[in-house]
Structure 1
Amino acid sequence: METVAQSNIGMYKQPRPFYMVFFIEMWERFGYAGLQTVLAMFLVKSIGMSDVEAFAIFGAFYAMVNGYVAIGGYIGDHILGTKRTIVLGGITLLIGYVIIGLAGADKMSVFTGIACVAVGNGLFKANPASLLSKIYAKDDPRLDGAFTLYHMAINTGAFMAMILVPMLGGRFGAQTGFFVCAAGLVLSLCTFVFYRNIVKDIDSPPGKLPLPKMKLMVIIVGVIATIYLSAWMLTNLAVAHWLLAIVGTGVFVRFFYEAFKRTGLERSKMLAAFVLMLEAIAFFVIGQQMPTSLNFFTINNVEHTVWGIRITDPESFQALNPFWIIVASPILAYFYSYFGKQGKDLTIPAKFATGMVCCAVSFLVLVLGITTANAQGLVSVWWLVSSYFFSSVGELMISGLGLAMVAKLVPQEMVGFTIGAWYLSSATAGVISGKVASFAAVPKGMTDSLQTLPIYFGAFMKMGIGVGIIALLVLALVPVLRKMIHEQN
C-alpha cells in the first residue's frame, strides 16, 4: 500500500491526490444534495403524498442510500478495486438523476430513478473515503484535518446544490432541478478521468490487477436487479425494513468475526469503533430531519425574509447546514492539527460526545424560538440560523470525523468494509428518522401557520430532550472508550 509519510507541511498543504478526491466527492455530493433537498416536497406536490407518506419514503430511500454502502465498500476492497467502483457508482447515479428528470409525475418511474440513485450511491460512497485513507500513514497528524476538509468538500457541493436546485426547479419545473443534479455527476466523472494519473498507484489490491471482465458483468447484472428490487421495495416498505435488518445483521456479524480474530489493542479499537457507530445512529436520525420535518417547518412556520431580502424558495434554507460546515471546517481542522501536534487534542469519543450535545441544543433552540412566534404563527429566521449552526458543528464532530475514526481504529484491509458499516448505521437511522419525522407531520390540507405551530413545538421538544439524554450517556462513556483505544492492555 502506498501512503504519504508524515511531514511538517502545513495543515492545508495536503498531498496532490487529496485534492483530486476532494473534487470527485464535491461534485458527486452536489448531485445527491440537490435531490435530497427537494425530494420530500416533490413527493407531496407532484406525486400527491401526505407528509407522513413522504417522510416514510424518504426514510426508506435514505436507508437504502446508506445500507448499500457496505456492499460498495466490499466490491471496492475485494472485487473490482476502489477506483473502478467509483466510476461504476458515478455512472449509475447519473442514470438515476436522468430517469427522475424524465419521469414527470409517474410514481413508478420516480421510484425507479430513486432506486438507481440509492444503488449508485452504495457503489460510490465508501470508495473515495477509502481511497483517501490509503494516501496517509495511520499516524500522520494531518489525518483528522484531511477528513475534516474532505467533509467540507461534501458540503461545498451540497451548498451550491441546495441553492441552485430549488431555485431552478421553482422557476423552470422540478425536472430541471434533477437534470442539474445529473450535471454534478458529469463533472465528478470528468474530474476522475482527467486526473486519474495522480492516483495511479493508489488503490485496493484488486484495483492493481487486470480488470476481471466476468466479475464486472456479474456485478452489472446484480446492480440492475438491485435497482428493480429497490424500486419495488419503495412500494413495500415492510420488506425494505426487513431486508435492512438482514443486511445489517450480516455486516455486523462479519465485523465482530474480524474483530475477534484479532487480539489486544487491535481488537479493542475495533470494538470501540462499533460503539461509536451505535452512538452515531442518534445523530443521523436528527441530521435527517433537515430535509424532512425541519424543511417543512421552515416552509410553514418560519419567516422567509433575511436582511430585507425575500427568499422565494424556502427549501434553500437547508443550505445553512453546508454553509456553517464550510465556515467551521477549516477552523476545527486547524485546531485539531494544532493541538494534535502538542498531544492535547480531544479524543474521538470526546468529540462525538460534544457533537451530541450540540445536536440536542439545536432542537431546543427551535423550541425556544417557537415560543416567540408572531401573531401569524411565524418564527424569526434567526432561530433557524442558530439551530443550523449547532447541528452543523455537531455534524462536524460526529459525521465529519466518523471516517477518520474508521481509518484510525480498524486494520487497513477492513477500511472499505467498515466505512460501509458506518454508513449502514446511518441507514438504520434512516428508517428511524422517518418515524421520528412523523411527529412533525401536518394533516393533509392544513395550511394555517397557527395550527401547525404547536405540532412542530411538540415534535422538536421530544427530539431535543431525547437527544439530550443520549448526549449524557455518551459523555459517561468517554473515559471507557478512551481506555479501549489507547491502553495497550
Structure 2
Amino acid sequence: MSTNSSSLKQPRPFYMIFFLEMWERFGFYGLQAVLATFFVKSLGMSDAESFTIFGAFSAMVYGFVAIGGFIGDKVLGTKRTIVLGAFTMMIGYILIGMATLDKSLVYIALAFVAVGNGLFKANPSSLLSKLYEKDDPRLDGAFTLYYMSVNIGSFISMILVPILGGKFGLSVGFYVCAAGLMLSLASFIFFRQLVEGIDSPAGLAPIHYRNFSLVLLGEAVLIGFSTYMLQNLTVAHWLLLLVGIGVISIFFKEIFKSQGIERSKMIAAVILMVQAVVFFTLYQQMPTSLNFFAIKNVEHSILGIAVSNPETFQALNPFWIVVASPLFAYLYAYFGKQGRDLSMPGKFALGMVLCAISFLILPLGTKFANSQGIVSVWWLVASYGFQSVGELLISGLGLSMVAKLVPQRMVGFVMGAWFLTTAASGVIGGWVATLTAAPKGVTDPLQTLPIYSKVFLQIGEVTAVVAVIMIITVPILRRMIEGNSQQNKKEQQAA
C-alpha cells in the first residue's frame, strides 16, 4: 500500500492495529505476570520446577508463531487468522480461571493460550508491514509505536491482574485477561473497514471452507498434543527443535533461491535473529528470576508507597518502554530523514550493551543490601530501565528488521521465524532462571541474596562479551544490508 512518505504521520489503519495489539497483549501479559507464582503458590511447585514449566510454555507460545504466520500468508489470510487466534486465546484464559478450582484444567488451558497466540502473534505485525513501502522513513517509528502498544497493554495488566488476583483470587485476574481479548476482537471487528483490501493473497480471496475446516482440525490436534507436551517436557523440547529445523530449512532454501542484495539482506536477517536469542534469554528473566528476586530480596515499596503484590514490579518494563518509545520513534524519523540514522546492526549492538549493564548493576546493588538481605527498589528500577531501552533497540525493531530485509512474499513466515527465536530463548531462559532457584522451602533473604548476586553477575558478564562481538560485526552486517551501491542500481534497473 503506497503512502506519503514525506509525512511522519502514520496511516489511519495503523491506529486500529495499535489497539488490536494493545488489548491482546493486555490479556497475555496479565497471565504472564502471575503464572510462575501461580505454579508455586497454587500447584505447590518449587521455584526451579515453575521456571522450567514456564520456559516450556513460553517456548510453545512463540514456537507456534511460524505456523500462524504461514496460515495467515498462505491458507486463511492475515485477518481471518487474527480473529481465530484471539478467540482461541480467550477460551484459554477462561479455562485457566476455572483451573484455579480444578487443577486438571491447567495444562489444557495453557495449550489453548499457546496455540491461540501462535495463530495470532505474527499476523498483526504482518498486516502493519503491508501499510508501508520498504523505504518509507516512517517504518522504524511505526514499529516502535506499535511496540509501545504492546507495553501499554502489558503495563496496565501487570499492575491490575496481580492486585485483583491477590484481593479476589487468581480466577478473577485470569477472567480479566479474557476480557482483554474480548476488547481486542471487538476493536478489530468494529474498525475492520480501515484495513479493507489490505491482506495476504489468501485473505483477499474468498474463504475456502475446506481449508478452514482443516485449520480447525489441526488446531484441535495441536491443542491436545500441547497439553501432553506440557506434562512431558522432553517431548516439548524435541518438538521445538524439529520445528526450528523445519523453519530454518525453509528460510535457507529461500536464501539460496535469492540473488544479489536480496540474498545478503536475508543472511543478515538470520545473523540478527541469532543475536536476538541472547536478548530474549535475558527477557525471560523478568517473569522468572527477576520476579522472584523482587519478591524475596527487594524492598516492597516505591516512593514511600507500599507494594503488597511485588509481582507488579514487572510493570516497570512496559513503563520504561511507554516512556521511551515516543522519543525513539521521533529520533528514528528525524535522523532517518537526514540519512543519519544508526544502522539496524548498530541498534542491536547498542541494545545488547544496555542489557549487559542492566544485569551488571544488580550484583552491585546487592552489596548495599541492609542487614536483613533486602535491596533498595531503585536498583531494580534502574535494571529494568536499562533492559527496557535495550529491548526497544532489539525486540522493538525486530519486526521492522524483518519487514525491511526479507521479500514481501515471506514477511508473515519470517515474522513467525523471528518469534521462534523467542521460543528457543524460552527454554534457555527457563534453564538460566533455575540457576537462581533457592532450595524448596528456603525463603530467608540472607540465604537467597548471594545466589541471585552470583548468577546475575554471570549473566551480565556473558552478555557483555556478546555485546562486544556484536559491535565488532556491525560494519560487516551494515555492508551486507546496504550492499554495493552500483549493484543496487543495476538490480533496480533490471526490475
Common fold by TM > 0.5: yes
CA contact (8 A) 1:281 1:425 kept: yes
Letter in 1 for 2:481: I
Q: Does the alignment pair 1:6 with 2:4?
A: yes
SS in 1 for 2:435: helix
5 Å matches for 1:37-56?
A: 37-56=33-52
CA contact (8 A) 2:3 2:11 kept: no
> How many angstroms apart in 1 are the aligned matches of 2:350 and 2:239?
33
Partner of 1:398: 394
What do residues 395-429 of structure 1 show as CA deviations (whole Å, max 9, x unaligned)? 00000000000000000010000000000011001
SS in 2 for 1:440: coil
How does the TM-score come out when normalised to structure 2?
0.97
Partner of 1:18: 14
Structure 1: stretches of 5+ with no match in the other structure = none
Q: Does the alignment pair 1:92 with 2:88?
A: yes
1:462 Cα deviation after fit: 1.0
Q: Does the alignment pair 1:362 with 2:358?
A: yes
What do residues 334-379 of structure 1 show as CA deviations (whole Å, max 9, x unaligned)? 0010000000000000000000001000001111101110011000
5 Å matches for 1:125-204?
A: 125-204=121-200
5 Å matches for 1:74-473?
A: 74-104=70-100, 106-473=102-469
What do residues 46-83 of structure 1 show as CA deviations (whole Å, max 9, x unaligned)? 00101111000000000000000000000000000000
> How many angstroms apart in 1 are the aligned matches of 2:183 and 2:45?
33
> How many angstroms apart in 2 are the aligned matches of 1:14 and 1:354?
27
CA contact (8 A) 2:282 2:429 kept: yes
Change (3 A) 1:105 1:476: farther
> How many angstroms apart in 2 are the aligned matches of 1:466 and 1:441?
19
Q: Does the alignment pair 1:484 with 2:480?
A: yes
1:8 Cα deviation after fit: 2.3
SS in 2 for 1:395: helix
Letter in 2 for 1:9: S
SS in 2 for 1:14: coil
> How many angstroms apart in 2 are the aligned matches of 1:480 and 1:149?
29
SS in 2 for 1:474: helix
Letter in 2 for 1:262: S
Letter in 1 for 2:304: G
1:4 Cα deviation after fit: 3.2
1:106 Cα deviation after fit: 3.8
Letter in 1 for 2:395: S
What do residues 431-484 of structure 1 show as CA deviations (whole Å, max 9, x unaligned)? 100110011101111111111101101110111111111111111110110010
> How many angstroms apart in 1 are the aligned matches of 2:208 and 2:368?
62
> How many angstroms apart in 2 are the aligned matches of 1:320 and 1:84?
34
Partner of 1:66: 62
1:105 Cα deviation after fit: 5.2
Change (3 A) 1:47 1:105: farther
CA contact (8 A) 2:122 2:415 kept: yes
What do residues 93-125 of structure 1 show as CA deviations (whole Å, max 9, x unaligned)? 000000000112544311110111000000000
How does the TM-score come out when normalised to structure 1?
0.98
> How many angstroms apart in 2 are the aligned matches of 1:257 and 1:9?
38
SS in 2 for 1:214: helix
CA contact (8 A) 1:37 1:315 kept: yes
CA contact (8 A) 2:89 2:117 kept: yes
Letter in 1 for 2:10: Q
SS in 2 for 1:473: helix
Structure 2: stretches of 5+ with no match in the other structure = 488-495
CA contact (8 A) 1:4 1:15 kept: no
> How many angstroms apart in 1 are the aligned matches of 2:468 and 2:100?
47
**Runs of 4+ in structure 1 displaced over 4 angstroms?**
none
> How many angstroms apart in 2 are the aligned matches of 1:239 and 1:245?
10
1:308 Cα deviation after fit: 1.3
SS in 2 for 1:374: coil
> How many angstroms apart in 1 are the aligned matches of 2:232 and 2:323?
41
> How many angstroms apart in 2 are the aligned matches of 1:218 and 1:383?
51
Number of equivalent positions? 485
What do residues 225-252 of structure 1 show as CA deviations (whole Å, max 9, x unaligned)? 1111111101110100000000000001
> How many angstroms apart in 2 are the aligned matches of 1:147 and 1:4?
17
**RMSD, aligned CA:** 0.8
CA contact (8 A) 1:46 1:105 kept: no
1:5 Cα deviation after fit: 2.1
What is the aligned-residue identity percentage?
Answer: 62
Q: Does the alignment pair 1:36 with 2:32?
A: yes
CA contact (8 A) 1:56 1:435 kept: yes
CA contact (8 A) 1:6 1:141 kept: no
> How many angstroms apart in 2 are the aligned matches of 1:112 and 1:194?
31
> How many angstroms apart in 1 are the aligned matches of 2:154 and 2:304?
25
What do residues 290-347 of structure 1 show as CA deviations (whole Å, max 9, x unaligned)? 0000000000000011121101010000000000000000001100100000000000
> How many angstroms apart in 2 are the aligned matches of 1:216 and 1:84?
10
